[in-house]
Chains A and B, each alone.
Chain A
Amino acid sequence: NAGVTQTPKFRVLKTGQSMTLLCAQDMNHEYMYWYRQDPGMGLRLIHYSVGEGTTAKGEVPDGYNVSRLKKQNFLLGLESAAPSQTSVYFCASSRRLNQPQHFGDGTRLSIL
């Protein structure tokens, strides 16, 4: 039972490079989220989706784009990476709003 799978687990980028983080869930959940975690700041919501084909901005959306073309996948893109985007990125999903989120193991991203 895979749950929520994030790819890749680690990545080092140079400033200005682009990349896509993939989140896949096999639980048929409607809601999916991307968070970033930085020391002392908890998890901050970047973007989220309430169903296939939908996306919405969270607390810190600038510099990121997302897509949810298929219900099971939620992609997070960095078009031009900046050192301020160095962080641990977590994807999460939930069936409904009042049910707990299932989290992936995180992606540690360093931008030099």
Chain B
Amino acid sequence: AQKITQTQPGMFVQEKEAVTLDCTYDTSDQSYGLFWYKQPSSGEMIFLIYQGSYDEQNATEGRYSLNFQKARKSANLVISASQLGDSAMYFCAMREGQTSYDKVIFGPGTSLSVIP
């Protein structure tokens, strides 16, 4: 069963507007972490933001913020003031496990296109 769900295969946003990319996850662990990565058409994976399950405040990194709703098991990425360079695939990932053999797994991704 898919542990990380990204229900929006493709999204469009007007330049300079904000956009929210959805991510829901499934875990029974109390300690876990959530990552967002960006993959431009060139193929490299770029880390954007991290949220730990015990972090009390939502993570922010520049134009990126994470809307973390623990009870709903959602960790949505918000990109403010979209730029043309934000056009890319975006992946939500989760660190899970209760031992030293924790691992990081990814969702299927959301393709974001920024329209001028």
Interface residues of A (CB under 8 A from B): 33, 35, 40-45, 48, 50, 56, 58-59, 88, 90, 92, 94, 97-101, 103, 105-106
Are A98 and B103 touching (Cβ within 8 A)?
no
B104 contacts A33, C-beta separation under 8 Å:
yes
* Chain B: minimal CB distance from A33 (Å): 7
- A45 CB contact (under 8 Å) in B43, B45, B50, B103: B103
Contact present for B45 and A97 (CB under 8 Å): no
Which size class do B's interface residues fall under? Answer: 20 to 34
Interface string of B72-116 (1 = CB under 8 A from A): 000000000000000000010101000011111111110000000
Contact A56 B35 (CB under 8 A): no
Q: Are B52 and A98 in contact (CB-based, < 8 A)?
A: yes
Given contact pairs A97-B33, A98-B95, A106-B43, A59 touches B105 in the complex (Cβ within 8 A): yes
Q: In the complex, which residues of chain B have a beta carbon less than 8 angstroms from the beta carbon of A44?
A: 105-106
